[in-house]
Amino acid sequence: MASRFDILLDNPILTKHARSRLRRNRVIPWSIVVVTLCAIVCWSYYQINQLSGTTPLTLIIMLQVVTLVFAGAGEIGSSVGGARESGILDFHRVSPVPPHWLAVGFVLGAPLLQYWLTLLTMPFAVFLAAVGPAGWQGLLAFEFPLLLAAGLVHTLTLLGAMISKKPKAGNRGLIGLVVFGLFLGQGLFFGVQYMLFDLSGRMVRIDFFGQPVPWMPLVVAYELILIGFLFVPSVRRMRSDRAHLYTKRQAVAFLSTLMVLVLGVTWNLKGVDGVVLVMLYAMVFIAILLAATLTPDRSEYIKGVRRALRMGRRRPNPWSDSGVNRLALVVLCGIVLIGTTIAWEVIEGRGANGTAAYSQTIAIGVLTVAYVGLGLQAAQLFMRKHGQTLFVLFLFFAWLVPMVVGAGLGGAGYENAAMTTMAVSPLAGILLSTGIIEDAMFGVSVQTVRIAALLPAVGFTFLFQFLLELIQRRLDRAVRGTSARRSPDPFDDIFGVPDQEHDPELADPIDGPVVSSSKGGT
């Protein structure tokens, strides 16, 4: 009889990793190394009579972080990359093992040795917490969020290994994690000390929508939510390499949840300058990433139109994976608009910055999300293979070139032209349009900068909407077999109307193309 624990007890991927990772010739040497390091820390601080201080326990916690978080993430990246490169992952996909079992097997099985080594450090951590100022409460309050933080990093590593075009990218990801850990080592050291030994301060409770909440349950809740939303695309990619990372509904739910979480922890920052600006930049970036994950390519859309025609519909459901991203993009833009407007009205306040006015700034950010999503969708439908490359080239000229040209003009002494040119790019235009740094604009009026930032956002939004509708109609017409047009269209020379002779994707491999006949047959 099947049990709910079979995903752990009867998981073939987890069993395979348990047999390979926990071999005696690997476990014993690494166990000796970890226990020796912990013993050296305790003995060294005992000799200088500082065993009851804060530093020994912090060093043990740092060893746990390096072992479990960084080394464990490297093991996951290497394991998934090897499975993809050898082709064994494709075998698992056609096996009866569910995709979420595969994901759990990799994310828990690959770092099994690191979990064991971390467990070996726990007696030393408990001893140092008992003789030191942290106590077992402080240690417990830190270890549980640390375990979930490791799960968050491991899930993110699994997702990165699944979406990487080169399966062996996991090894380079390990190097990046090591460099990242070394770079932030000092800050992490003092951060661990603060969390362990200053629990009587303001870290005990964090305001969530104005209500004080114990920090550990709040951090755990945030980590669990992020792990869940990052685990979903990993499972989808375990099912198929061509699957979208998120469905359109999942992307909307993810952005909505993030907006609520961000508003909750910033709710008490009344009158603090820059809250809206930071939130807008972050949400625009995340919304653009989510829009890219739910944008179908040309092949997928053609198959969706063909299925819709067989079911008596004109186009795929806009909420399906093969439907264009227009409707979901509107919802994502609405979430960014509502969330940042609430932050402006309730958190930062209209009069907090004097000259700052976020109405046009928020509009620029929302329209940036809109035209990036629409432009990417149009490029994906226009070109079969190189749509993303074409759109990235557009972003280079629309975002980076104005920044470089503006910097050059500023260096040449043309400050007014420099500020106006840089405002064309949303990277700088969102900031400049707020008026927060009006004194540094060298005499350029804030309204001029706002117009320079707003016009490209509005223009690109309408342009890409027009192009998307144009390309979509021609693609629909070609799939329905009406490529023989009664009247010429001036845009045909630019875009063309594909047919099955020039575009093999339009040929139905089963029933043949759907064509119209003058005699009434189809």
Model pLDDT for residues 300-328, shown as the tens digit of each residue: 888 888 888 888 888 888 898 888 999 99
End-of-domain residue from the set 241, 269, 284: 241
Q: Are residues 95 and 175 in the same domain?
A: yes
d(CA 1, CA 3): 6
User: Tokens in use for 46?
Assistant: 């005992």
d(CA 521, CA 516): 7
What's at 37, amino acid-wise? L
Which range has highest mean pLDDT (44-48, 70-74, 395-399)? 395-399
Q: Tell me the pLDDT band of 486, cut-offs 50, 70 and 90.
A: very low
Max CA pair span of the chain: 99
Half-sphere CA count of 358, side-chain side, radius 13 A? 29
Q: In this predicted structure, what is the pLDDT of residue 95?
A: 82
344 located within any domain = yes
Q: How far apart are the first and last CA of the chain?
A: 52
Q: In this predicted structure, what is the pLDDT of residue 506?
A: 57
Q: List % helix, strand, coil for the chain (3-state, nearest 5).
A: 70, 0, 25
Q: Supply the pTM of this predicted model.
A: 0.81
426 located within any domain = yes
Helices (H), 48-134: 55-64, 72-86, 88-94, 99-109, 112-131
Any idea which residue has 């869940």 for tokens?
228
Residues with Cβ within 8 Å of 305's Cβ and at least 6 positions away in sequence, in order, are 315, 316, 322, 475, 476, 479
Pick the more confident residue, 168 or 106.
Answer: 106
DSSP helix/strand/coil, 206: strand
What is the distance of C-alpha 412 from the center of its chain?
39
Mean pLDDT, range 429-456, rounded to an integer: 75
128-154 residue pLDDT tens: 888 877 777 777 777 888 888 888 889
505 located within any domain = no
Q: Are residues 337 and 476 in the same domain?
A: yes
Q: Are residues 124 and 163 in the same domain?
A: yes
Q: Are residues 205 and 257 in the same domain?
A: no
Contact 246, 290 (CB under 8 A): yes
444-463 residue pLDDT tens: 677 888 888 899 999 999 99
510 located within any domain = no
Mean pLDDT, range 508-517, rounded to an integer: 44
492-503 residue pLDDT tens: 444 444 544 545
Comparing C-alpha atoms, which of 293, 186, 191, 286 is closest to residue 232?
293
57-67 residue pLDDT tens: 888 888 898 88
Pick the more confident residue, 165 or 104.
Answer: 104
For the CA atoms of 94, 98, 103, 104, what is the dihedral angle to 10 degrees? -140
Q: Are residues 296 and 393 in the same domain?
A: yes
Contact 513, 500 (CB under 8 A): yes
| Number of folded domains that form the chain | 2
End-of-domain residue from the set 172, 206, 241: 241
d(CA 12, CA 97): 8
Residue 214 dihedral angles phi and psi, to the nearest 5°: -55, 135
Q: Is 55 exposed, middle or buried (0-12, 13-18, 19+ CB in 10 A)?
A: middle
Contact 365, 431 (CB under 8 A): no
Q: What angle, rounded to 10 degrees, do the helices at 275-293 and 326-342 form?
A: 170
Question: With 60 as the cut, is the pLDDT of residue 191 above it?
Answer: no
Which DSSP symbol is given to 51? Answer: T
Q: Are residues 14 and 99 in the same domain?
A: yes
Q: Are residues 275 and 391 in the same domain?
A: yes
Contact 85, 168 (CB under 8 A): yes
Q: Is 131 exposed, middle or buried (0-12, 13-18, 19+ CB in 10 A)?
A: middle
515 located within any domain = no
- For the ranges 103-117, 311-325, 501-515, which has the lowest average pLDDT? 501-515
Any idea which residue has 């190189």 for tokens?
386
E strand or H helix that includes residue 522 = none
Q: In this predicted structure, what is the pLDDT of residue 443?
A: 54
Helices (H), 168-244: 169-183, 185-197, 215-239
Q: Are residues 299 and 402 in the same domain?
A: yes
d(CA 113, CA 133): 31
Contact 398, 460 (CB under 8 A): yes
Question: With 80 as the cut, is the pLDDT of residue 356 above it?
Answer: no
Neighbours of 25 (CB within 10 A): 6
Q: Are residues 440 and 336 in the same domain?
A: yes
Q: In this predicted structure, what is the pLDDT of residue 504?
A: 54
DSSP helix/strand/coil, 201: coil
End-of-domain residue from the set 209, 241, 273: 241
User: Tokens in use for 463?
Assistant: 């342009």
Q: Are residues 229 and 248 in the same domain?
A: no
DSSP helix/strand/coil, 256: helix
User: Tokens in use for 395?
Assistant: 């972003």
Residues with Cβ within 8 Å of 87's Cβ and at least 6 positions away in sequence, in order, are none
Q: Are residues 113 and 204 in the same domain?
A: yes
Q: Are residues 230 and 304 in the same domain?
A: no
29-59 residue pLDDT tens: 999 999 999 999 889 888 887 777 778 888 8
Q: Which domain holds residue 308?
A: 244-484
522 located within any domain = no
Contact 89, 223 (CB under 8 A): no
491 located within any domain = no
496 located within any domain = no
- For the ranges 192-201, 251-260, 339-348, which has the lowest average pLDDT? 192-201
β-pair partners for 214: 205
